[in-house]
């Protein structure tokens, strides 16, 4: 019997950050070190080149380089979902083909973001990617940045194709999340996007999560997921509250990714600064970020023991 989509892909995926050298160029060795950092932490996989990965701020060649480095380092150990969304369908198709050629596990894309597109235009944009590779496709819904409202009807239509296996739901409505789950039908995955409501998303039907803050506390999200699955909901809620206090602090910095990348550097994982227009953290942020980093490390120790 073939494994179903849910069994194959459910779980926790770090939305992986970019890794640049000190001049801001993609650094394959640093990409590999970052990917390696996530092995052995209980994760199902990595989501490469999405919002956290700054795929939208990189050239197609740079995005290919990043994916190839990740796959060389962790293929077989972690599942690799790659975001291939770009402003032109042509570029997305090129990235989809590249992803298949190099052995990624699935592709995923946001709608094109500059033009106000009709539902028909977005559908066609995604369909071209779906048709250009044999890989499973995961819709990336993030209306607060793209302005595109994904209808359950479009989910239902796309999900009728075996290759369309899920949606990454970064919108905040858990009702919409649940409606996508229903629209997708049997064996259709929904991934929770907003890390702050991971537990709520799971309760409303998410099969796992893909998140931008998991990258600095993957162990906590794996534990949260484990406790939800074991029906330890009161403890899961307590942990979600701890996580949310961390996220609330993170969101006070010049950029979330700048703060996260600085904390990784304190753990010996160098990834450079985020690419402009995303702001790096400033010197005056360093001390409080070091304190936040210590706090996360203490939480991981505390919760891993339970
Ligand atoms: C809008 C946005 O970027 N959402 C991300 C992905 O879904 C989340 O992972 C957030 O980064 C996270 O929940 C922090 O607010
Ligand atoms: C946050 C998220 O899921 C992304 O980076 O795409």
Is ligand 2 within 6 A of the CB of residue 15? yes
d(C-alpha 173, C-alpha 214), whole Å:
20
Residue 31: its H or E element:
helix 28-37
Q: Residue 102 pLDDT > 80, yes or no?
A: yes
In a domain, 247, yes or no: no
| Residue 164 counted as domain residue | yes
Residue 60: asked if its preceding bond is cis (omega within 30°), the reply is no
Q: Is residue 227 part of a domain?
A: no
Is 228 part of any domain?
Answer: no
Q: Are 181 and 159 in contact (CB under 8 A)?
A: no
List, in order, residues 6 or more apart from 285 with CB less than 8 Å away: 253, 254, 259, 262
In a domain, 258, yes or no: no
Which ligand 2 atom lies nearest to the CA of residue 213?
A: 1
Distance 268 CA to ligand 1 centre (A): 24
User: What percent of the chain clears pLDDT 70, i.e. is strictly above it?
Assistant: 100
In a domain, 211, yes or no: yes
Measured distance CA(194)–CA(213) in Å, rounded: 9
Is ligand 2 within 6 A of the CB of residue 50? Answer: yes
DSSP state letter for 171:
S
Give the residue numbers marked as catalytic. 140, 168
Give 166 Cα–ligand 1 centroid separation in angstroms: 18
Q: Can you give the pLDDT at residue 1?
A: 61
pTM for the whole thing? 0.97
Rounded percentage of the chain residues whose pLDDT exceeds 90: 99
- Number of domains the chain is built from: 1
Q: Tokens representing 213?
A: 């803050």
Q: What is the pLDDT of residues 62-74, one digit of tens each?
A: 999 999 999 999 9
Q: Do residues 109 and 92 touch, judged by C-beta distance below 8 A? A: yes
Residue 280 located in a structural domain: no
CATH number for position 81: 3.20.20.70
The domain in which residue 157 lies consists of: 8-217
The residues lining ligand 1, judged by C-beta closer than 6 Å to any ligand atom, are: 15, 51, 142, 144, 170, 193-196, 211-213, 247, 256
Residue whose tokens read 């970052």: 34
CA distance 209 to 228: 13
CA of 111 to the centre of ligand 2 (A): 14
Name the phi and psi angles at 171, rounded to 5: -65, 160
Ligand 2 atom closest to the CA of 195, numbered from 1: 1
Q: pLDDT tens-digit profile of 206-233?
A: 999 999 999 999 999 999 999 999 999 9
Q: Is 85 in the pocket of ligand 2 (CB under 6 A)?
A: no
* pLDDT tens figures, 141-151: 999 999 999 99
Which DSSP string corresponds to 77-109? TBEEEEE---SSHHHHHHHHHHHHHTT-SEEEE
CA distance 271 to 34: 8
Each residue's pLDDT tens digit, 192-208: 999 999 999 999 999 99
What pLDDT does 2 receive?
A: 77
Is residue 201 assigned to a domain?
yes
């Amino acid at each position: 019997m073939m494994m179903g989509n849910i069994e194959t892909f459910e779980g926790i995926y770090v939305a992986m950050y970019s890794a640049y050298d000190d001049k801001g160029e993609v650094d394959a060795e640093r990409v590999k070190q970052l990917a390696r950092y996530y092995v052995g932490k209980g994760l199902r996989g990595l989501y490469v080149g999405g919002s956290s990965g700054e795929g939208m701020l990189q050239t197609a060649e740079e995005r290919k380089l990043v994916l190839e480095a990740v796959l060389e380092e962790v293929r077989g150990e972690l599942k690799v979902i790659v975001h291939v969304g770009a402003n032109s369908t042509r570029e997305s198709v090129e990235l989809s083909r590249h992803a298949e050629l190099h052995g990624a596990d699935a592709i995923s894309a946001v709608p094109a973001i500059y033009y106000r597109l009709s539902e028909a235009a977005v559908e066609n944009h995604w369909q071209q990617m779906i048709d250009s590779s044999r890989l499973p496709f995961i819709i990336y819904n993030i209306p607060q940045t793209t302005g595109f409202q994904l209808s359950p009807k479009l989910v239902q239509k796309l999900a009728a194709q075996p290759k369309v296996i899920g949606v990454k739901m970064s919108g905040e409505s858990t009702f919409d999340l649940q409606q996508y789950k229903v629209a997708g039908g049997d064996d259709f995955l929904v991934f929770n996007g907003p890390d702050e409501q991971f537990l709520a998303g799971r309760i409303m039907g998410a099969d796992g999560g893909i998140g931008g803050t998991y990258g600095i506390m993957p162990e906590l999200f794996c534990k949260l997921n484990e406790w939800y699955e074991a029906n330890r909901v009161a403890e899961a809620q307590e942990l979600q509250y701890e996580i949310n206090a961390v996220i609330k602090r993170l969101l006070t910095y010049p950029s979330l990714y700048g703060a996260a990348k600085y904390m990784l550097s304190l753990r010996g994982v160098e990834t450079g600064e985020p690419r402009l227009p995303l702001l790096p953290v400033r010197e005056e942020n360093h001390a409080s970020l070091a304190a936040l980093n210590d706090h996360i490390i203490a939480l991981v120790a505390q919760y891993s023991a339970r």
